[in-house]
A and B are shown apart, each in its own frame.
Chain A
Amino acid sequence: MARKKLETLTEQMYYILLSLAGEPRHGYGIMQDVSQRTGGRVNIGAGTLYALLARFEEEGLIALTDTREGRKYYLFTGEGRRILRDEYDRLRRQVADGADALEKEEFS
């Protein structure tokens, strides 16, 4: 079930991976980045983030890069990039299909 879930990421999973795309971040850094990036629309709880980071690490989507002041820093891996890219493509197609359908409806 866990594997299957990762074929389509939840919104929170997507933003966590997105947050780790540019530079290594620790947990709280990810929370702040996601909140900032989405203008406060998406907030990830500490417990949820902890569970998702553990799962991503286990699945090989992210890797531990450093531990400083008791905080673990992560960066996404090649596999993480692939999953994120797949999700991005899927969402883009979804948006494109939605735009097509809505435009046709508005013109008819």
Chain B
Amino acid sequence: MKETCWKLFCYLIIDHRAAQAWLNRMAEDGWELVHIYFGLFARFRRTERTDLSYFLDWADPKYLETSDCLQLCSDAGWEPVQTVDYLNLYASRPGTSPAPIQTDSELEYRRFRQKALRRMALGGVIAFVVTPLILLPLLLLPSSANVSPQEIAAGLLSSSLTSSLILFCLPFWLAGGLAYPALLAGRLLRWRQAVKDGRQLPVPTSRTAGAWGKLKLLGEFSLSLMLLLLLPDALLNGAISLSNVIGLLIGCAISISLYRDNSRLFRRVLCTAGCLALLLLCILLHSPVRNAFPGRLPPSPVLADTRVINETRADTLLGSHVKWEEFFPRPDMGDSKIGYPASVTVEAQTWVSPVLADWAFGTPPSNMVAVPGRGDTWQFTGNTAEHGGYRLRRGNTLLTLSYYGDLPADPLSAALAWLDGF
């Protein structure tokens, strides 16, 4: 017979009564809670006890309960197990059958407002202020920079794993962000009614609480995945610069300072280790390690007799993105950075699927004209004869070449040769 088992502890904080009922059901089945790891993975062990019960009480995660309160709970027969988010978990001591820790629904409701709701509301307000601040530049960028939202999306999907995931998850996060306050408001109204009627706080059904808990789990999973993707992004795609790391370090320092309790030392150590790992990755990013990953799309020069400069490369699961400039060195100047007065910027994307390539190529903007006799080849001209470029596609690969200055020859045939060679 198994002596330990693991279960997912996925309940919304406001469904704490459903979580309590679940723990009590587990206890009735002979399982005693050992610990809940990361607020998500509950470890149980077999117990012979038949009098085991649990109580979940609101807690302020920043402050511990006073010793007087813990003493009173202990005298009454409740021993603290651990704190998870805004909840203190208590288990009954063997041989006792204690009354619930909270027996006055009005006081319990007030405790929820003091301990949890204020902080939750503050977090919600911050999220609702910060999210538009992040989204607004993205919404305004297409009109100001004369690029289509499709181009921005294609750029993000081919250049950053983290951004790809954010782009995919954002609608779900926004829907969740709007649904949660609505759910909370609904629960609060029911609680207030129960307080008015002098009843105990209502317990949501296990099915409802379970469904919301699974949605919360999905949200947490996507956020964890986003953090994990930061690592390959840092190594492959230069997603983390020194300034990012400094920002992350400040954020981590604030998070660490919030955990004054020594029993949460593990989280503090984890945060510190995470910061050091990011710092290490940042250093590796600027080392030869980066060159060990050539990527799907190596930046080789399109035009003859040029050198590649200012190269940026990125690879994601969906595609690759590379951008560089080509420099025409003057033979009489040796290795000097002085070159012919012409500059060429090349941007290429390759996609894992033709559907994605179709979508990314899209409809060329109005300032481009199709080159006769050549499929998927478009030309654009600037305000002067010395400014122009091409946009081409072969298979799943797209190439955009733009130039300023007097080039030795029309770059179209070289661009086509580059694409065919690739």
Which of B67, B75, B98, B104 is A48 in contact with, Cβ under 8 Å?
A: B104
A31 and B78 alpha carbons, distance in the complex (Å) = 14
Does A10 make an interface contact (CB < 8 A)? yes
Quote the shortest CB–CB distance from A108 to chain B (angstroms). Answer: 31
Q: From the candidates A10, A49, A51, A71, name the one contacting B111 in the complex (CB within 8 A).
A: A51
State whether A46 touches B67 (Cβ < 8 A).
no
Say yes or no: A28 contacts B76, CB within 8 Å: yes
Additional A-B contact list (16), CB under 8 Å, known A46-B69, A47-B69, A48-B101: A10-B104, A12-B103, A27-B75, A28-B72, A28-B75, A28-B76, A31-B75, A45-B76, A45-B99, A46-B76, A47-B57, A47-B102, A50-B72, A51-B107, A70-B71, A71-B75
Is B81 an interface residue, CB under 8 A from the partner? no
Task: Contact check, B111 vs A47: say whether CB atoms are below 8 A apart.
Answer: yes
CB distance from A45 to the nearest CB of B (A): 4
Q: How far is the CA of A43 from the CA of B76 in the complex (A)?
A: 11
A-B pairs with beta carbons under 8 Å apart, 21 shown: A27-B75, A43-B103, A44-B99, A45-B101, A45-B103, A46-B75, A46-B78, A46-B98, A47-B69, A47-B108, A47-B111, A48-B102, A48-B103, A48-B108, A49-B72, A50-B68, A51-B111, A52-B104, A71-B71, A71-B75, A72-B68
Q: How many A-B residue pairs have CB under 8 A?
A: 63
> Is B73 an interface residue, CB under 8 A from the partner?
yes
A47 to chain B, nearest CB (A): 4
User: In this complex, which of A10, A45, A71 has the most chain B Cβ atoms within 10 angstroms of its Cβ?
Assistant: A45
Which residues 8-45 of A sit at the B interface, judged by CB distance below 8 A? 10, 12, 26-28, 31, 35, 43-45
A43 to B71, CA, bound (A): 18
CB distance from A13 to the nearest CB of B (A): 9
9 A-B pairs with least C-beta separation: A28-B75, A43-B99, A45-B103, A47-B101, A46-B76, A27-B72, A46-B73, A46-B72, A48-B104
Q: Which residues of B contact A70 (CB under 8 A)?
A: 67, 71
- With CB as the reference atom, state the residue of chain B lying closest to A30: B72
Is B100 an interface residue when CB atoms closer than 8 A count as contact? yes
**In contact, B103 and A44 (Cβ under 8 angstroms):** yes
Count residues of chain B with CB under 8 A from any CB of chain A.
20
Q: Chain A nearest CB: distance from B49 CB in Å?
A: 20
Cα(A100)–Cα(B67), bound, Å: 50
In the complex, chain B residues 107-147 whose Cβ is within 8 Å of any chain A Cβ: 107-108, 111
CB B327 to nearest CB in A, in angstroms, measures: 72
Interface of B: prevailing SS:
helix
Size bracket of the A interface: 20 to 34
Chain A residue at minimal CB-CB distance from B58: A47
Bound complex: CA of A31 vs CA of B77, how far in Å? 12
Question: Which residues does B use to contact A, with CB under 8 Å?
Answer: 57, 67-69, 71-73, 75-76, 78, 98-104, 107-108, 111
Instruction: Please give, as numbers and ranges, the residues of chain A lying within 8 Å of B99 by CB-CB distance.
Output: 31, 35, 43-46
Contact, CB under 8 Å: B102 / A45? yes
Most buried by B among A28, A47, A70: A47
Chain A residues positioned under 8 Å from B68 (CB to CB): 27, 50, 72
Among the interface residues B67, B101, B102, B107, which one has the most CB atoms of the partner chain A within 10 A? B107
| Docked complex Cα distance between A72 and B72 (Å) | 10
A51's nearest neighbour on chain B, judged by CB, is: B107
Q: In whole angstroms, what is the CA distance A27 to B70 when docked?
A: 11
Q: Output the least CB separation between A5 and chain B (Å).
A: 8
Question: Given A28-B76, A43-B99, does the pair A50, B104 have CB atoms closer than 8 Å?
Answer: no
- Chain B residues, Cβ within 8 Å of A26: 75
A47 and B73 form a contact (CB under 8 A): yes
Q: For the complex, give the distance between the alpha carbons of A8 and B72 in Å.
A: 26
In the bound assembly, the distance between CA atoms of A24 and B104 in angstroms comes to 24
Measured between beta carbons, the chain B residues less than 8 angstroms from A71 are 71, 75
CB of B15 to closest CB in A, whole Å: 19
CA distance A43 to B111 in the complex (A): 19
Q: Which of A12, A45, A46 has the most CB of B within 10 A?
A: A46
B residues near A27, Cβ cutoff 8 Å: 68, 71-72, 75
A52 to B414, CA, bound (A): 84
With a CB–CB cut-off of 8 A, which chain A residues contact B76? 28, 31, 45-46
What residue in chain A is nearest B114 (Cβ atoms)? Answer: A51
> A51 CA to B107 CA in the complex, in Å?
8
- Bound-state CA distance A43–B100 (Å) is 9
Q: What's the least CB distance linking A14 to chain B, in Å?
A: 12
Q: State the CA gap A48–B111 with chains docked (Å).
A: 10
A63 nearest CB across to chain B (Å): 15
Q: Which residues of B contact A51 (CB under 8 A)?
A: 104, 107, 111
Closest to A47 in B: B101
User: Interface centre among A10, A44, A51, A71, by most B CB within 10 Å?
Assistant: A51
Say how far A78's CB is from chain B's closest CB, in angstroms.
25
